[in-house]
Amino acid sequence: MDIQPKMPKSWNAATKPHKFCPGCGHGLILKALGQVIDEMGIQDRVVFGCDIGCSLLSWDFFNVDTVQTHHGRTTPVMVGIKKARPDRIVIAYMGDGGGYAIGSQHLVNAATRDDKITVILVNNTVYAMTGGQMAPTTMPGQKTETTPFGRDVEQAGYPMMGPEMVAAITQEGAYVARGSVAKFRKLKEYIRKALENQIAMRGFSFVEALSTCPTNWRTNAEKTWEFVEKIMPEQYPLGELKVPVIKEG
Amino acid sequence: MGIIEGEKKAFMTGNEAVAWAALVAGAEIMYGYPITPQNEIMQYWTRLAPKHGRKFLQTEDELSAGFTTIGGVLTGKRAFTATAGPGNVLMQEPMSMAEAMRIPTVVVVQQRGGPSTATVIYSQQEVTLTCFGGNGEGLRVVYSTSSHQELYDYTIKAFNTAWKYRFPTFVLADGYQAKMRESLVLYDPEERGIEMVPTEPFVGKPGMPGEDRPPAHLRNTYNIEEELEEVLKKDIQEYEQMAPEIIEYDEFNTDGADVLVIAHGVVFRSAAMAVRKLADEGLKVGYFRPITLRPFPQEQLRQAAAKAKQLMVVESAYGQLLKLVKDNLYGMDLPIHTHLRPGVGVTPEEVVADLRTVLEGRED
C-alpha cells in the first residue's frame, strides 16, 4: 500500500495534483509555505497574492484568500491590502521577472517604506511561462532563448542580486534571506521567520527562493538538481542577509 | 454625527471639493501619486484625513497608486485615487484589472494637455483613454462633470455607482475645474437622503477559508477562450443591463433645432451659454450634454438628434467626443459641424460665432 506524504491542511486538495511542470520548484516552495501556515495557525488571517508568470498557477493552490494580480504588481496590491487591513498577514508571491524587472520599482519602494508585508520571490534564472527568455537572474554565460550564446554581461548586463539590494535599503527591523529548494528545511525556516517578522510588525520581510526549471533549462533530473544545488549558489549565496534586532522588552 | 452640519456654502477649488466629497462619502483611504493638476486632492485629503480617522499612502507611481487602491477596495474599504495625463495612461493597467475582476475602484481624473507631457493646464483629451483605456471593452462608468458642485455631487455618487454595480468608476474633470475657485454647497449625503451603498470585503472575511466559508480565489487569467468568453458575456450583459439605470444627460431646446450643439464637461458651460444667448434671440438652437460618457446616453441623443436639422460637436480635443457621437448615431443621416480645440479652452463667444456661421450657411 502506498502511503502518500501528508498534504498541508492549508492546501486546497481539490486543485491537486498541482499545475506546475514535473520537476518545477514551485511545488516545494508552496509546500514549505503551506506547512508554515499550518504550524503558525494563520490560515484564516493570510491573504496570498500571486503574480503573472508561473506563480499565477498558484491562484487556487491554497485554502486561503488569494488574489492573482498583474506582472510585477502583486507587491502594490498586497501593500494596499496591508495599509487598509493591518491585521491581515499578506504574502506577495512572485517570480524574478515580476519582482526584479517589471515590478522592481514596487519592490524597492515597499522595502524602503518598510511596508509590513512578506515577499517570497522565486529565482529560477529564466522567464519560464513565456518560454525561457533571459531573466534579471540569468547567470553570466547561461544560455536562454534570448541569450542563445550565453548571457554576455557586456551586452546584456549583470544578474540582479535581490536580497543583497533589499538588505541594503531596508531598516533594521527587516528580515531578508535567500533559501533554496535544495535546502528545504532552511527555506521553510526562512519563510517562517519572514512571516513572524510581519506579524510582529518589525519591518519588511523578503525571502528569495532558488528554484528549478527543467523545462526551460532543458535538463534531466540529475542536471537540474546539480544546477540548483551546486551552480546557482556560486552566484547567489544562501543564508540570512538581515535578521532584525529584537529588543528585549 | 455628520462631518458637515446642514448645508455649507463654500468657495474653493475643485480639487478641494473632491477631497471633501470623498470624506463625506465615507472614503477610508486614498492612495496617490503627484501629478498636476490633481495634486491638491491629495494635499487637502492628507490634512482632512487624520482628523476623521482616514488614511493615505503616497506611492511610487500611478501603477502602484492604482494597484494599492485595488488592494484597499479588496478589503472592503471605499478607496480611491486621482490622476491626470500621463498618470492616467499608467492608471489604465490597474483599472483594466479592476474591470476584469469587477473591483469597485474610484478614480478622479483632472485632464491636462496631451499627448505626452504636453501641458499641466487643461484639456478634454482623456475621454477615449478614460472610457476605453486598457486591453478590454471599456466596462466602466465615466461621469463628466462641468462645475464644482457637480465634482462634489458626482464624487459622492461615484462611490455608490462603483459599489452597487462593481465596475470601476471615474469622475472625469479637467485642470480648469481642478484649479479654479467656484462656489458650491457642501453637505452630508445622509442629510440629503443619499444612502451610501454598503461595502463588502472580497478578502479577509471572518471564518476559516475552506471550512466555514469558501476561500476567495480571485483571478484575471484564464486557460481557454471559452472560459474567458463566459466571464465577459456575463460582465457585458450586466453592464448593458445597468446602463439605463445610470445613464445621465442634459438637454435644452431640442425640438426642431436648426443646430443641436453637443458638448460635455466644462466646455458644455460655454456651449450652453452660447446656445441660450442665440435662443434668446429667437434662433432655433439647442444643446445635448452627455453626463455619463460611459455608458453613453445613446437613445436619448438619437431622439434629440432626430428632431434636429444639423449637429455641432464642441470639445477641447480633436474629435474624441465626436467619435462617441458618430458611433452612437450610426445610421442617422445628419450633417455634423465641429468646433475642436485640442488642449485649449472654449469660450461662449467662439461657439456663438461658429453657430452664427452655420446658421447663416443654412439661410444661403
Q: What is the DSSP string of A144-162?
A: BTTBTT---HHHH-PPP-H
Q: pLDDT digits over B245-278, tens only?
A: 999 999 999 999 999 999 999 999 999 999 999 9
Mean pLDDT of A143-164: 97
**Same fold yes or no, B8-192 and B250-363:** yes
Please state, as a whole number, how many other Cβ atoms lie within 10 Å of the Cβ of residue B219: 16
pLDDT at residue A246, as a whole number: 78
Strand, coil or helix: B139:
coil
- Which is it for strands B141-144 and B292-294: parallel, antiparallel or unpaired? antiparallel
pLDDT at residue B283, as a whole number: 97
Q: Which residue type is seen at B87?
A: G
pLDDT at residue B361, as a whole number: 83
Q: Which residues contact B5 (CB under 8 A, 6 or more apart)?
A: B188
Which of the residues B28, B135, B217 would you substitute to probe the A interface, choosing the one with the greatest number of A C-beta atoms within 10 Å? B217
**Do A106 and A80 contact (CB within 8 A), yes or no?**
no
**Do B262 and B325 contact (CB within 8 A), yes or no?**
yes
Please give the residue that has the higher pLDDT: either A185 or A246: A185
Residues of A in contact with B215 (CB under 8 A): 12, 62-66
**Do B10 and B174 contact (CB within 8 A), yes or no?**
no
Q: pLDDT digits over A77-94, tens only?
A: 999 999 999 999 999 999
**Per-residue pLDDT at B363 exceeds 50:** no
User: Which residue in chain B is spatially nearest to A60 when comparing CA positions?
Assistant: B217
Q: How far is A249 from chain B (nearest CA, A)?
A: 30
**Do A98 and A71 contact (CB within 8 A), yes or no?**
yes
Mean pLDDT of B187-192: 96
Topology of the domain covering B250-363: Rossmann fold (3.40.50)
**Per-residue pLDDT at A3 exceeds 80:** no
Q: How far is B160 from chain A (nearest CA, A)?
A: 19
User: Which residue in chain A is spatially nearest to B212 when comparing CA positions?
Assistant: A44
The residue to which cell 455628520 is assigned = B2
How large is the ipTM?
0.95
Give me the domains of chain A, ranges plus CATH numbers: 13-242 (3.40.50.970)
Mean pLDDT of A60-76: 98
Q: Which residues of A touch B (CB under 8 A)?
A: 10, 12, 43-45, 47, 52, 56, 59-60, 62-70, 73, 76-85, 88, 105-106, 108-109
pLDDT at residue B364, as a whole number: 41
Q: Pick from A9, A3, A61: which is nearest to A36 by CA?
A: A9
Q: pLDDT digits over A191-231, tens only?
A: 999 999 999 999 999 999 999 999 999 999 999 999 999 99
Please state, as a whole number, how many other Cβ atoms lie within 10 Å of the Cβ of residue B299: 13
Mean pLDDT of B219-245: 98
Topology of the domain covering B8-192: Rossmann fold (3.40.50)
Question: If you average pLDDT over every residue of chain B, what do you get?
Answer: 97
DSSP β-bridge partners for residue A118:
A91, A205
CB nearest to B219's CB, from A59, A81, A82: A59
Q: Do B97 and A70 touch (CB under 8 A)?
A: yes
pLDDT at residue A248, as a whole number: 63
- Which is it for strands B106-111 and B55-58: parallel, antiparallel or unpaired? unpaired
Q: pLDDT digits over B20-32, tens only?
A: 999 999 999 999 9
CB nearest to A76's CB, from B28, B59, B216: B59
Mean pLDDT of B321-332: 98
CB nearest to B209's CB, from A59, A63, A83: A63
Crossing angle of helices B225-246 and B148-165, rounded to 10°: 140
Mean pLDDT of B217-226: 97
Domain ranges of chain B: 8-192, 250-363
**Per-residue pLDDT at A1 exceeds 80:** no
**Per-residue pLDDT at B54 exceeds 80:** yes
